[in-house]
Amino acid sequence: MVSYIKYIALAVSIASVVGCTSYPQQSQGGLAENYIQSKFTPVMPDEPLGPEHGLRFDWQLTKLHLDSLIREGARWCFPAAVVQAIEKQNRIARELEGGLLLDAANDIVIQRKRLNELELQLDYVTSQTKCVPPMDEGAFHQRLAVIDELFNLLNVDNQFAFNSSEVNPKYMGHLAKAANMLAEHPSLNLKVTGHADSVGDVAYNEKLALERAQQVKRYLSIFGLAPTRIATHSVGDTLPLHEGNSEGIKLTNRRVSIEVIDTQEKDLPLQGGYHAMD
């Protein structure tokens, strides 16, 4: 318990030291202002210590990490990755507010991995070039709004039935709408990752998850999206959206997760991007 109290004390001290410098001034933060309004602190007054305090601290650390990457230029060089990282950060906040601690812990692990990958990409780019703001910021934010809408449209629950790669009819409608949007934005591609629930062995779930990703690609292609714009992968049952074995949880874990890839993130004066170092 002593070590845990020290951990919480460290959380409070870090939050108090860096928190005041992590938030942009009103109307000047761009992407950094898109977080939902969450008032997390590692320890609330008169609250008994519990695992939620460590998760709140972890949420704050990932937020600080993302804010730092945004300040260093990630919002200009990798805007699609940043807007989707903010969506994930907001999802974790909602899970913590709703007491879904296992779900929040799982998403924090995924978020850390994403942010570490983004940091490596940004370090590589900024070692050779610099990230600059867009010349047309209005068009830039319109583009991000499209990416955000696509991400939310494609990453909804209730996509597949048990032991099946056949797409549920409602989700098929989402795929049709997304394909129509993507037809108007030819530089946006998709990375489709298949998932399975916890029932079945590893090899079978790996195969089933890949079939789900491929089936989504098939329907997107039927709706007019070129297959070359869709990459498919499988992680089997290794990255559940929620932890647990209830029927509802298993339903949400039978899914694909889809990332929107902006192939113009290396060009642009419109969107910002990479420019040679002076």
Residue pLDDT, tens place only, 180-205: 999 999 999 999 999 988 888 899 99
Measured distance between the N- and C-terminal CA atoms of the chain, rounded to whole angstroms? 53
pLDDT band at 263 (very low <50, low <70, confident <90, very high): confident
Please, are residues 49 and 43 in contact by the beta-carbon 8 Å criterion?
A: yes
Q: What is the DSSP string of 229-265?
A: GEEEEE-TTSS-SS-S-SHHHHHHHSSEEEEEEETTT
Neighbours of 34 (CB within 10 A): 15
* Partners of 188 in the β-ladder: 262
Please, are residues 249 and 260 in contact by the beta-carbon 8 Å criterion?
A: no
**Distance, C-alpha 205 to centroid of its chain:** 23
Nearest to 79 by CA among 206, 278, 264: 264
What average pLDDT does the segment 98-118 reach? 87
Q: Among 7-16, 66-75, 111-120, which is the least confidently predicted range?
A: 7-16
pLDDT band at 237 (very low <50, low <70, confident <90, very high): confident
What pLDDT shows up at residue 180?
A: 95
For the entire predicted model, the pTM comes to: 0.62
What average pLDDT does the segment 29-44 reach? 52
Identify which has the larger pLDDT, 199 or 248: 199
Return d(Cα 248, Cα 118) in angstroms, integer: 32
Return d(Cα 271, Cα 78) in angstroms, integer: 10
pLDDT band at 274 (very low <50, low <70, confident <90, very high): very low
What pLDDT shows up at residue 197?
A: 85
Please, are residues 224 and 180 in contact by the beta-carbon 8 Å criterion?
A: yes
* Partners of 194 in the β-ladder: 234, 256
What pLDDT shows up at residue 157?
A: 78
Q: Is 248 exposed, middle or buried (0-12, 13-18, 19+ CB in 10 A)?
A: exposed
129: left (phi over 0), alpha (psi -120 to 50) or beta: beta
Is residue 168 scored above 60 in pLDDT? yes
Percentage of the residues of the chain whose pLDDT score is greater than 90: 29
**Distance, C-alpha 273 to centroid of its chain:** 20
Please, are residues 192 and 174 in contact by the beta-carbon 8 Å criterion?
A: no
Which H or E element spans position 113? helix 101-126
What pLDDT shows up at residue 95?
A: 85
What pLDDT shows up at residue 201?
A: 87
Nearest to 168 by CA among 251, 63, 107, 59: 251
**Distance, C-alpha 52 to centroid of its chain:** 21
